[in-house]
Amino acid sequence: GESVGLHLPTLSVQEGDNSIINCAYSNSASDYFIWYKQESGKGPQFIIDIRSNMDKRQGQRVTVLLNKTVKHLSLQIAATQPGDSAVYFCAENTGNQFYFGTGTSLTVIP
Amino acid sequence: NAGVTQTPKFQVLKTGQSMTLQCAQDMNHEYMSWYRQDPGMGLRLIHYSVGAGITDQGEVPNGYNVSRSTTEDFPLRLLSAAPSQTSVYFCASSTDWNTEAFFGQGTRLTVV
């Protein structure tokens, strides 16, 4: 099976600071990546995606960076807010299936 | 627009019992999938469907059956529940296999 891992299982940041969540993937053939946010008791919610023909993609307060050379994905959240506290998952698509990482728990300290 | 609706939200089963987890979407999505989420293991794909009448196995299909008779519905069946199936189950749908998925709120299943 695929292996999608996260460098840090937990991350605490001060409100207003920037957050960076990292993800390593194993299959160089993966061509599509998504970051999801999951709040307690809820289903995962789409944040941002990126395809393998891109290195960077920006959304509202979020940026995803893709480094295919080292098979690394990162999610940057600007000006982190208390509402950003959640578990963040990266997912890679290979063939017609997604493989999810184990998640990073982000805690925003007021 | 309800999105993806899962029922029930909570369920307790005895070992050996059977049940069906319901999933319905109103977005006319062709691709639907079922995941289980266990602590420390992330989401794992159980079964998926690329359209009505077509289903396939994911990463952890054993002990589960699915069918897709309509575009809207994708039920997951546990024929003989086992304690190892205690988990949180999520249904998801998307326009295609390589686009963002919309998830339901989940079903927390406990098998005793």
Alpha-carbon radius of gyration of chain B: 13
**What is the average pLDDT across B10-35?**
97
Whether chain A has a CB inside 8 Å of the CB on B98: the answer is yes
pLDDT greater than 90 at residue B41: no
- Nearest-CA distance from B21 to chain A in Å? 15
CB A32 to CB B103 under 8 A? no
Q: Where does residue B62 rank: exposed (0-12), middle (13-18), buried (19+ CB within 10 A)?
A: exposed
3-state percent breakdown (helix, strand, coil) of chain B, nearest 5: 5, 55, 45
The mean predicted confidence, pLDDT, of chain B is 95
Tokens of B11: 């369920």
Interchain CB distance below 8 Å, A1 and B59: yes
User: Which candidate from B45, B58, B105 shows the least CB-CB separation from A43?
Assistant: B105
Pick from B100, B84, B82, B104: which is nearest to B92 by CA? B104
Which residues lie across from B29 on neighbouring strands? none
Is residue A19 a contact partner of residue A105, using CB atoms and an 8 Å limit? no
**B17, amino acid identity:** Q
Which residue stretches of chain A have pLDDT < 70?
Answer: 1-8
Q: Using the predicted structure, report yes or no on whether residue B1 has a pLDDT greater than 80.
A: no
Is B20 exposed, middle or buried (CB count within 10 Å of its CB: 0-12, 13-18, 19+)?
Answer: middle
C-alpha distances in Å from residue A105, one per residue of A10, A59, A64, B47, B49? 5, 21, 17, 27, 30
Q: How confident is the model at residue B23 (pLDDT cuts 50, 70, 90)?
A: very high
Asked if A34's CB is within 8 angstroms of B100's CB, the reply is: yes
- On whether the CB atoms of residues A89 and A27 are closer than 8 A, the answer is no
Structure confidence by residue, pLDDT tens digits, B43-95: 999 999 999 999 999 999 999 999 999 999 999 999 999 999 999 999 999 99
